[in-house]
Chain A
Amino acid sequence: MIDFEYIRATDLASAVGAGAAASTRFVAGGTNLIDLMKLDVERPSHVIDINDLARRDPSLAAISELPDGGIRVGGLARMRDVAWDARVRERYPVVSQSLLLAASGQLRNMATIGGNVLQRTRCPYFRDTAMPCNKREPGSGCSAIHGINRTEAVLGTSERCIATYPGDLAVALVALGATVHVHSPNGQERALPIANLHVVPGAHPEVETVLRPGELITAIDLPALAAARRSLYLKVRDRASYAFALASAAVAVELDGRNIRDARVGLGGIATKPWRSREAERLLVGKQATEQTFRAAADAALAAARPQRDNAFKVTLAKRTLIRALTEVTA
């Protein structure tokens, strides 16, 4: 790891001001950034520790009620605290489950919500500086497309990058339609739908989000949503725990008898960004909650899949994951 200048931010304005400088990174839980710094994938000259911001302003790590019945989660709230929060568990089971099925107990005690949604791909070529990677070194080529690509994405890929977005929480958040609050270096606050936070790689895999340098995630709002109470996160992986998703489904359904009044579908482990499948949602809403309906929705969700040599299994796996999630959540 190259050496760097460590700065402990004490207030938001100076944090985002300093954060806007070139080659600067915020560190929150550190569980993704420090990992990548050890690999020399991240080589910041300045690292700004934003943890003290929450000591000055506890709302940055708080979980609080919104007037409309939603819940606001501070950007510096730890995964553990959000996962076990009684209100989140009751009103947003999919959020709690996506967190508890992620990483490990130790990592969840460290990692923050802001850092979590911004975690970077686990593509083995991205993490190996000896290999070409367009995301790490624009223009150097994609090693995964003709390499070992079992864990890579089948949705949202481009000829330049097929790296999977690895996180779980953001998949639940795109399904629910959460809102991300950002503090900008010019002092302005802005809010954006989480679905607009991440971008697909296209011609520029090095660009992963719409955040500008220095922008800091201060909070994420979980919307008041009837379907959220009947929600579920199903994660399939190579071992039973402590592993990233090969495929996952975040589903939320509002039922009227067996009729589906509202449905939300997020897919993880198979796409280059947290994937919301509006195609699947359209085929669910207004239909009966039957296996046939679920199958049609799953087929639609994966219709655009572009599998590689080693990951065609993900198409089938993702469909089955979604069907099972919908079956369980409507049972």
Chain B
Amino acid sequence: MRSLNDREPIQPGDDAPDFAFAYGGATHRLFDFRGSPVVLAFHGAEWDPARAEHIETYNKLIASLGGVAGARLLQIGGAGPWRDLSFTDAALSLPVLAADSAVARQYGVGSEPAVFVIDAGGVVRWSQVGPMSLVSPTDVARAISVVAAPFVHEPTASTGEPNEAPSAGWTRRDFVATALAAAFALALRPVEAHAERAARLAAPASTVRPVTLTVNGRQLSLSLEPRVTLLDALREYAGLTGSKKGCDHGQCGACTVHIDGRRELSCLTFAVMQEGRRITTIEGLASGEQLHPMQQAFITNDGFQCGYCTSGQVMSAVAVLDEPWGPTDDDVREAMSGNICRCGAYPGIVAAVQEVRRAQATNGGGNRQ
């Protein structure tokens, strides 16, 4: 087996390796960003954030990305001192990271400059590694839009024109439209380990249609064949992998989500059927860092073991308290019978539901956040 040090750069079609990084006083993982495209930039040792033209470049890159996709920029310094950069558009979240050569090795880029465009599902869709010192933000922006990654449209102030000519910091040599075209061919070519996924992404245009879903209060614009279930759209296209696929046939409840406030099975409905309806997944249940009371109750009451069924159980349990069931443990068991747990965590699950029910009765409060 190759060592991490001499691995080839990650290719379009590969899953982007996960890594942890500190930002804003908390530790994040790349995987946390699933659901939005991410641009990962590695700069060579010569890059210096103190130099005005480099900051300008950075600004341009951010502006283009915000304009097309609300994408986040993860900036990873190759080496040397580092400091926080401030940007005009506060709507964009911008982790600025300490130098991390281990991450660069994970991506097989060593100390070279490189840019990776990662789609919302966590797959690298475009990359540029090598001699150019920097990549055109316009091309990166186009890379994101052209490959039809699912975009998360969040209202962002118009901060730049993606089609603007390269700015002062750019040399003609850096603006490599031809290299970009080659990279696209790569992105769409089935890569061995991902042949199926690539084939799907390059599906014939006949039945693929734009589908806009409202998920956790955000608009997701996807390009989908009608046969894509809501579950697959969430997991495979929007990168929201909290909803689980247990049976894919309505027999286990692992895929439970809320649609217009009711619990439904995302595996037995087509995503196209859900346009215009309000979808909530487990990712949308907590308010920021504050867990939903049902999530907390599952933890407190040992409502799970392996956790595979848990997101479905929690979504189901939250909705059950809005249904006209009786108050006994048996009522809870019957109401929750559509959620199977292989680990047999049922006693804890019933206890969790009852705990939240009692708390609600005391507070007189509603169930939903």
Contact = CB atoms under 8 A, between A and B. Distances in A.
Interface stretch (B48-56, B139-147, B225-233): B225-233
A106 interface: yes
Contacts, number: 91
Interface string B171-211: 00000000000000000000000000000000000110100
Contact of B248 (A38, A103, A109): A38
A5 to B, nearest CB: 6
Contact of B268 (A3, A34, A51, A80): A34
Interface string A5-23: 1101000000000000000
B250 A31 contact: yes
Choose among B209, B269, B270, B319 the residue with the greatest number of A CB atoms under 10 Å from its CB: B270
Given A241-B334, A242-B338, A6 B269 contact: no
A30 interface: yes
Contacts of B273: 27, 30, 49, 51
B262 A4 contact: no
Interface residues on A, range: 20 to 34
Interface in B310-337: 316, 319-320, 323-324, 333-337
B265 interface: yes
Contacts of B316: 105-106
B281 to A, nearest CB: 14
B119 interface: no
A242 B209 CA distance: 36
A64 interface: no
Interface in A107-128: 107, 109-110
B293 interface: no
Contacts of B335: 105
B226 A6 contact: yes
Interface residues of B, number: 35
A65 to B, nearest CB: 21
Contact of A106 (B207, B225, B256, B272): B256
A84 B262 CA distance: 14
A110 B265 contact: yes
A5 B273 CA distance: 13
A3 B226 contact: yes
A103 B338 contact: yes
A109 to B, nearest CB: 4
Interface string A76-97: 0000100010000000000000
Contacts of A174: none
Interface residues of chain A: helix, strand, loop or mixed (majority): mixed
A240 B336 CA distance: 12
A47 B273 CA distance: 11
Contact of B227 (A3, A49, A104, A240): A3
Contact of A6 (B256, B262, B272): B272
Nearest to B258: A109
Interface string B203-223: 000110100000000000000
B226 A47 contact: yes
Nearest to A31: B268
B253 interface: yes
Nearest to B272: A6
A189 interface: no
B269 A30 contact: yes
Contacts of A38: 248-249
Contacts of B206: 3
Given A84-B324, A241-B333, A107 B265 contact: yes
A108 to B, nearest CB: 9
Choose among A3, A51, A103, A105 the residue with the greatest number of B CB atoms under 10 Å from its CB: A105
24 contacts: A1-B227, A2-B227, A6-B226, A6-B270, A29-B268, A30-B268, A30-B269, A30-B273, A35-B250, A38-B248, A49-B272, A51-B273, A103-B250, A104-B338, A105-B319, A105-B336, A105-B337, A106-B253, A106-B264, A106-B265, A106-B338, A107-B265, A109-B264, A242-B340
Interface of B: 206-207, 209, 225-227, 229, 248-250, 253, 256, 259, 262-265, 268-270, 272-273, 316, 319-320, 323-324, 333-340
Given A3-B226, A4-B207, A106-B264, 5 more contacts: A3-B207, A80-B262, A105-B263, A106-B263, A106-B338
